[in-house]
Amino acid sequence: MSLEHLENAVNEVSDKDWSWWPFLWLRPEKHEPMTLTRLATVAFLFGAPIGAFLTVVGAMVNPEAKYAAPVLLAIFPLLLFFVASVVVGPMWNRRAERLRARAKIE
């Protein structure tokens, strides 16, 4: 798979409103870069509720799992931040740079 195909696939998903819901206001314009601050914010806003939900489910299934709560609460935002900063951010920024360069030419 070429880098262009990966970029197109990632940006196709990241351009959809449903992939940003309920934080659609955080999505930058296609020509704007995706900053690490924005990626960290999105990762926290999506990851914290997922981690909290899994912590509650885990504690209900196994009461001893409540001791793993801090780890679960931290893991999901960090995991999402890793994926976003390694895959989504660079692919978004490649397109943003290309769009900005194209706008300067025209």
pLDDT (tens digit, 0 to 9) for every residue of the chain, 106 residues total? Answer: 688 899 999 999 999 999 999 999 999 999 999 999 999 999 999 999 998 998 888 888 888 877 888 888 899 999 999 999 999 999 999 999 999 988 887 6
Phi, psi of 30, deg, nearest 5? -60, -30
d(CA 2, CA 7): 9
pTM for the model stands at 0.85
Q: What is the pLDDT of residue 106?
A: 66
Rounded to 5°, angle at Cα 9 from 7 and 10: 65
Q: What is the pLDDT of residue 65?
A: 76
d(CA 75, CA 64): 18
105 DSSP 8-state letter: H
